Every structure is written in structure tokens, then in C-alpha cells.
Structure 1
Amino acid sequence: MSLTNEKSTEDIAHGIRKRVFLHTMRNNGGYLSQACSAAESLAFLYNEALHLGAPTLPPVPKPFAGVPSAHNPDAFTGAGYHGPFAPDYDRFFVSPAHYALVIYSALIEVGRMDENALDHFNKDGGSVEMIGAEHSPGMEVTTGSLAQGLSMASGVAFARKRAGDKGKVWVYMSDGEFQEGQTWECLSAMRHHEIDNIRVIVDVNRQQCDGAMSSVQELYDLPERIAAFGATCRSIDGHDLDAMRKAADSAEPGKPLVILANTSPFQGMDFLKKRFPRLHYVRFKSEAERKEMRDALAKELGVDMHEIEEA
């Protein structure tokens, strides 16, 4: 739910891609393909699906205050950018922590964080981490190496259901997390306990740090496998907002809802095809290479001249 509601979900998705692009050019690297694949689903979540209160943390993130403990009253989690915890509000867990820059960009686009927040990105002593941790904006927990976010979110969802909370628990995942056994154990447990107040959106872009998913470990018929573990599974075009709206409203009693958002790691940035299959993190080997990508993507994204020069 946007704080301003002045932008369409389509405009927010475009803004996410544009912001990640400019940051990547200015910092000689970034998670561009994740912005390509995730922009629509994150724009949908923040602008339409999530029922959240106003942020409880400042527009420009505070420095890291240390890990939570009984002796550290200044510690905080990035969930403050999703507003206060309350029975009627939703909770949102981001499982693939390397999507952090895309999450920060989404928070900025919907008015939950100031654009100057990215000035603190990956800086010593800051909370705006390159790989999100529990204190990073939009992050409620540290999700480990990969595939631990769903288990933590399901525990919260189970507790909320038992408490009678009306708010849902939403989870954002990457398809690579289905190569991990913990994900399948969690799906089975959620079906057994009839945890049906959880909604999962999976970015199925078929890419991971070592290249194409199929070259590392094929997932085969993922919708059928998820359904076999007892979840309601909807497989959609992840760039089709109407399809996403319909899927998000199709939960069944007693089952978790998993939406497989099939996406392209080039969406909105066709020039990235030149980098395939090494798309996980884009770095530049020379200034000439950076300039070629900058000029090509700026044209695709409609970035104006003064923004190009700043990058």
C-alpha cells in the first residue's frame, strides 16, 4: 500500500528499474537483472497488496546500531519501513537478501524511504547493506545464505493465525530457493498445520549466481511439485499485473498460496542479453564497456540527459 497513491503500479515498476540502473552506473556494478525481473511484483506488493501502516523509522536510514539484545535498546530491524506491528497489518519478509537494492528502490518509489538513503548503500557503519540483514530497510530478519526466509515467515504466520490476527504474512522468494531442502520441508509443514494466512510470490527468472538455473540444478515441473506438497500454486506471467492481482486473490482455505511469477532477467533492459548467462551481478571491465551499457539502457529506460551525465 503506497503512502501517496500518486503513482500507478506500472510507473512504480519503471521507477524501480530506472533507480537500480542509475545506481549501478554510478557504482560500477549492481543487481540489474533482479530489478528487471522483480519490478512488477514488488511494485504490486507495495502499491496494492500489502496492508501496512506508516513507517516508524526515519526517511534516511540510521547507522547500524548493533545486533538486538537485552542490553542494546538502540537496536532496530528494517521492518520499521513497513510500519508498526499490529494485528490488522500485514507482515512482509524478503527471503533473497541480494535483492536488497531492488527493495530499497521500491521503498523509495512508494514514499517509504528518502531517495538519499542510497547515498549510504554498502558504506561502513551503515544499515543500507548490499546484502540485506535484519537491520536493513525493508528487512525483518537475516535470511541466512538462502532459503531460510520462508520458514521464519511461516512461523510468524502460524502464530498470527493462532492469535486471531487479521493481517496476512507475505513472502518474496527467488526460484533458486527451491533447490534447497528447507523450502520443501516448510511447504509440507504449512500444509500440515493449515497455515493459510501466508502469501508467497516467487521470482522465477531462472538465473542464479553461477548462471542459468538449468545448468546448475533443474527444477523441472515446479508448479506440480509445489502443489504436490499441499500448497495452492498459481503460475503466471510475472510482468502481467492483472494476472498477479487475480492470483493474489485466489487463496484456498487450509493451504498456503504460492504464486510463481515467471519473469525475464532482461525485462525493460534488452541490452542485458549481451551478458547472458552471467547476469547475477553486473560489473564493468572497462570504462568503454560501462559507457556502452549506460547509453543503451538509458535509451531503453527513457532516462534523460542530465541523469545520464550524473551517472
Structure 2
Amino acid sequence: MRNEKTTEDIALGIRRRVFEHSMRNNGGYLSQACSAGEQLAWLYNEALNLGQPTLPMIPKPFEGVPSPNNPDYHTGAGYNGPAGPEYDRLFIAPAHYALVAYATLIEVGRMAPEGLEMFNQDGSSVEMIGAEHSPGMEVHNGTLGIGLSTAAGLAFGRKRRGDTGNTWVFMSDGEVQEGQTWEAVQACAFHNIEVKAIMDVNDQQCDGAMDSVMEVGDLRTKFTNFGAHCVEVDGHDLNAIRQASQENHEGKPLIILARTNPFHAMSILEERFPRLHYVRFKSEDERARMNQSIAKDLGVDPIDYAH
């Protein structure tokens, strides 16, 4: 399933949708749209081999947790299509990127725009922090750092079963502060699991700048030493991402470090750096200033958020 839009257009559309949502709701995950727009657009529009969605374009309400007495339970993976052996699978490891992931699904025609209006509403499956029943999600990755392990486990099982589809994971750099990430890389290298990962390296996390919380050093060298094939690129350069994804990594996990700017295309957010994890406007004046500035950067009219 390929979209008629260019990947560049989809990345811009993602940012515009997250911007509009954030203005109307007095805050949102703006910086994640700035840094990850190209990566998620590229995954869905170019990299992933996915079938047609199997769930309704307008998401169903939350139907409860899995149990023998709940036949209506479903995960959100159906928005990525069926889980056939020939299809790729994607895990969104940082669950707080959910708003950006939902905007991506809309931009590539896998979810209706009305779905975003259900974001963080009582009884909705369109969770603020993506859960296994949320659109595009297959498992709950709310415990930061488990995404690569989850993807690796699935990829190992698929390899043993003879599946031909790839297993991808989208990550954030805060996950390198978790030991489980490094255990997963070592396990992949030892068991020759060729899982593929692209990491949004925007140098910030929920508590501020990465280095103010814990210095992580030379990530490319570390990943290489732990057994991965690691490539470092400009995360806003689609050609660089495309080339990195084609590198030979036989018998090893592929880790693409996508170096990004958390206020790319929304320059006024630099005022808030490094406190950009969730941008809630401090005053009506700031909200109005950001509305005007970001709208200009994105080439759209300011949002009428009074209605």
C-alpha cells in the first residue's frame, strides 16, 4: 500500500496535524513531530511492506483487556494490515510518540482524521500514551526500553518459522539509558537476528537534555561493540535514511541513528529547549505567539482554537 503523496509531503502533513491538535488542546507532543516526521513518513510510505488495514478507519472504543470472555478484544496492529509471513511488522517503542504515529496513519490513509479527535478521550482506544489496543500499536511499550527486545523476540520467532517479512522498530534515544536495550542488541548479534531499528536521536528526554540526565557517549561505537551494524545519519535527510537502510547487516541487527533537531520546522520551540517532552503553553500570550510562528514555518494559516 503506497500513498500518492511524496514522503516529504507526508512528513509536513504529520507536523501540520500535530500542530493543529496541540493548538486546539493547549499543548501536545510538538517536538516529537519535529524530530521524527521524516522517519515515520519514510517507514510507512517507503520502507514497510504492509497489507491493507483490517480495522475500521474510525477507531473503535476501548473494548477491554484480553480474556476468554472478551471476543471483541483486538490490538491496534490491524491498522498496519494483516500479520502474514510476507508482510513487515513495526513496533513503536516510545509510546509517547503516539500522537505523531496517529498523524502518520492519517497521512498515509490508514486511519480517518476523526480518529485524532478521539485522542486521550475517556473510553477511547486512541490513547495519549499508545497501548496495545491503540491504532498502529501491537504491544504496550509504555515501559521505555522494552521495544527493541519485543521486536527482537518476534523477529527470532519469524526467522524460525521461515517468514520473509522484516521486523522494524522505531526507537527514541532515551532508550539507550535502559540496560534492556543493550541486552537486546547482544541477543540479536548472538542469535543472528536481523531486526531493523531506526532511532530518533534528538538529545532530549522527559527530564530534559539527555546529557543532563545521563551521558551516553558515542552511540555508534557502543552499538557496534555490542554486535550491531550501526549507521549514523541526518534524520531529516531522507536520502541518507534510504541509503542507510540498504546497508548489508547479515547476521546482525541494523541500528540507524537518525540525528535530529527537536524544533525542526517549528523554530520557536527553541525557546523551550531542553524542556520539550510535552509542550503545554504557559500563557495565552505564548500560545498565540507559537500559533503565529509555527503556522508561518509550516506554511498554513494560524489555528482558530477558540472554537
Q: Fold match, TM over 0.5?
A: yes
The residue aligned with 1:210 is: 207
The residue aligned with 1:254 is: 251
Alpha-carbon deviations, 1:218-277, whole Å to 9, x = none?
111000000001000000000000000001111321101000000000111111011111
Report the CA distance between 1:70 and its aligned residue: 2.1
Within 5 Å, which residues of 2 pair with 1:1-311? 1-2=1-2, 5-196=3-194, 198-304=195-301, 308-310=303-305
Alpha-carbon deviations, 1:184-215, whole Å to 9, x = none?
0110011000001x110000000011110010
- Secondary structure of 1:92 counterpart: strand
For 1:105, give the aligned amino acid: A
For 1:24, give the aligned amino acid: S
For 2:223, give the aligned amino acid: I
For 1:231, give the aligned amino acid: A
Is this contact kept in 1: 2:61–2:124, CA < 8 A?
yes
- Distance (Å, rounded) in 2 between the aligned partners of 1:251 and 1:163: 22
- Distance (Å, rounded) in 2 between the aligned partners of 1:199 and 1:253: 11
Question: Which deviates further from its counterpart, 247-256 or 9-18?
Answer: 247-256
> How many residue pairs end up in the alignment?
306
- Distance (Å, rounded) in 1 between the aligned partners of 2:270 and 2:4: 33
Is this contact kept in 1: 2:203–2:209, CA < 8 A?
yes
- Distance (Å, rounded) in 1 between the aligned partners of 2:41 and 2:107: 9
- Secondary structure of 1:223 counterpart: helix
Alpha-carbon deviations, 1:146-169, whole Å to 9, x = none?
011111111100000011110000
Q: Return 5+ residue gaps in structure 2 as ranges.
A: none
Alpha-carbon deviations, 1:23-47, whole Å to 9, x = none?
0000001000000000000000000
**Identity value in percent:** 65
- Secondary structure of 1:186 counterpart: helix
- For the aligned residue pairs, the C-alpha RMSD in angstroms reads 0.9
Report the CA distance between 1:285 and its aligned residue: 1.9
For 1:210, give the aligned amino acid: D
Report the CA distance between 1:144 and its aligned residue: 3.4
For 2:295, give the aligned amino acid: A
- Distance (Å, rounded) in 2 between the aligned partners of 1:303 and 1:309: 12
- Distance (Å, rounded) in 2 between the aligned partners of 1:212 and 1:310: 30
Report the CA distance between 1:310 and its aligned residue: 4.9
For 1:185, give the aligned amino acid: E
Q: Return 5+ residue gaps in structure 1 as ranges.
A: none
